[in-house]
Structure formats: structure tokens, C-alpha cells
């Protein structure tokens, strides 16, 4: 299990069954800024929605996440305590030779933006290919995930924590694609030495080191417990 829980030491994993029959894994993805942490069910449901699927049931052994009731009520999902024997697991990885811009454009079809109508897509490099993400909005605004965090939580879930590279971001309706403050903090946690490549609406790109996007950020290494 790839739960990233260095602060609480609460390991968490769940599977969301989608309407299509696909199972979406999710792990707990904590952040040094505790309120930015993503629970396992949050991560799995956003992964499911970001794939154009709808959650129908959740499989999770103890411990159950905080806010589980919210997710269950929001999507009327059923709780199952026993994991299926051989679920067909969603694998987000895209091959290394994809056309980046075209893939970023195509991904925007999957954005879930009932509140903003502002699509954003992301591709996170790994040593094996790319992990995609799109923004997902839900009824509780603060529980949606930006495209960057959908990609990062999928990558952590899939076991790429130590193999992450640059993060590409595309926001076609914005003049200048730029990650929000919360995403900068999450990038500082997982890809502190990497670059972010911003693909702007006018076909230009700009590249920025994460450390330059979050100068003097809260990294509090003394707070970090050993994994
Ligand atoms: N959004 C992203 O996905 N990434 C960013 O870097 C900026 C903002 C999303 C979040 C929300 O769905 C919408 O854009 C408006 O904030």
C-alpha cells in the first residue's frame, strides 16, 4: 500500500467501484500543511470522476477516512467491507511518447467543472510515462481537486512517489496557466526540485521551478516524522 502518511502514520487505502465496472484505488496523501491532506476515499473518488466515471461503491478496511459520510451521501455509494478478489484496477499511466499538447487538450473533455466551467488538465512525468489529471469539482467546493492534485494523488497511489518529474499544466480558458497556492504547496511536498511547465492558451509555454513558485514556503522539516 502506497499511503503517504508520514505525519499521522495512519495508513489508508480504498477502492472505488465505478459505474463502468472499473475499480479506482486511492491512498491517503498527506501534506506538511495538514488541511491540504487528501484522504483515501477523496483521492479514489476524484480519480474515478476524472476518468469520466461515476462512483457506485467503496471498499475500505479500517481505518475509515474522515468525511466518508460526505462522499457516501454525495454519490449515494454503498459501503462494502470485503475487497473483491480480482478487481479490474484503473491504471492512469500514459506512455512516454504521447503528444503532450494534444493529450492535455483531449484530457479537458474529462474535467468536472459544474461550478467554474474552467477546465484545467495536467500531466505528471514519471520514469515510466505520464500520469494525467483534470480538475474535479463537487458540491462541497473545498473538497474538489485541481488538475495538478488529481495527477499527484493518482501518482502517489500508483507508487511513483520517488519517480516523479516535471508537471505540465494546461488551462485553455486562462490567459496564463498558473497553479494555485494549494497546488504549489502540494508540489513542494512531492516534487520540490522539479519544474512546472505551463502551457498557455496562446500556444506558448513557460517553465518554473517549484521552489520559485513557493518562495520561503512552509516545509517545516522538523515536523516531518520518519516514514
Ligand atoms: N484549477 C486547477 O485545476 N488548477 C489550477 O492551477 C488553478 C485552478 C481549477 C480548480 C477549479 O476547478 C477551477 O480551476 C477554478 O478554480
Taking only the tens place, the pLDDT of each residue in 65-98 is: 778 889 999 999 998 877 778 889 999 999 999 9
The pLDDT-based confidence of 150 (bands split at 50, 70, 90) is very high
Straight-line distance from the first to the last Cα atom of the chain, in angstroms, rounded to the nearest whole number: 13
Residue after which a domain boundary falls, among 46, 80, 114: 80
pLDDT at 19: 97
Residue 196 lies in a domain: yes
Question: Is 148:169 a contact under the CB 8 Å cutoff?
Answer: yes
| Atom nearest to 169 CA in ligand 1 | 6
Q: How far is the CA of 118 from the centre of ligand 1 (A)?
A: 7
Give the mean pLDDT of the chain.
93
Residues having CB within 6 Å of any atom of ligand 1: 113, 116, 118, 120, 135, 137, 144, 146-148, 179-180, 183
Same domain, yes or no: 126 and 196: yes
Residue 223 lies in a domain: no
pLDDT at 156: 98
- Does residue 125 carry a catalytic annotation? no
In the chain, the number of structural domains is 2
Please tell me the pTM assigned to this model: 0.95
Same domain, yes or no: 105 and 202: yes
Q: Which domain holds residue 55?
A: 13-80
Same domain, yes or no: 111 and 160: yes
Q: Which CATH number characterizes residue 143's domain?
A: 3.40.140.10
Amino acid at each position: 500500500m502506497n499511503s503517504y502518511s508520514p505525519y499521522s502514520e495512519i495508513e489508508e487505502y480504498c477502492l472505488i467501484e465505478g459505474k463502468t465496472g472499473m475499480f479506482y484505488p486511492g491512498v491517503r496523501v498527506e501534506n506538511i500543511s495538514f488541511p491540504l491532506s487528501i484522504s483515501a476515499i477523496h483521492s479514489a473518488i476524484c480519480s474515478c470522476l476524472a476518468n469520466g466515471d461515476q462512483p457506485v461503491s467503496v471498499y475500505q478496511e479500517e481505518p475509515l477516512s474522515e468525511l466518508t459520510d460526505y462522499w457516501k451521501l454525495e454519490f449515494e455509494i454503498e459501503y462494502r467491507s470485503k475487497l473483491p478478489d480480482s478487481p479490474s484496477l484503473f491504471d492512469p499511466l500514459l506512455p512516454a511518447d504521447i503528444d503532450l499538447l494534444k493529450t492535455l487538450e483531449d484530457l479537458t473533455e474529462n474535467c468536472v467543472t459544474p461550478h467554474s466551467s474552467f477546465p484545467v488538465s495536467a500531466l505528471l512525468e514519471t520514469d515510466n510515462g505520464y500520469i494525467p489529471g483534470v480538475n474535479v469539482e463537487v458540491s462541497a467546493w473545498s473538497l474538489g481537486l485541481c488538475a495538478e492534485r488529481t495527477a499527484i494523488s493518482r501518482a502517489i497511489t500508483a507508487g511513483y512517489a520517488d519517480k516523479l518529474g516535471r508537471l505540465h499544466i494546461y488551462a485553455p480558458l486562462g490567459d496564463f496557466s498558473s497553479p494555485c497556492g494549494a497546488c504549489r504547496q502540494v508540489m513542494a511536498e512531492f516534487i520540490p526540485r522539479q519544474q512546472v511547465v505551463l502551457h498557455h492558451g496562446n500556444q506558448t509555454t513557460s517553465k518554473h521551478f517549484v521552489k520559485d513558485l513557493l518562495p520561503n514556503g512552509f516545509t517545516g522539516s522538523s515536523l516531518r516524522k520518519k516514514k
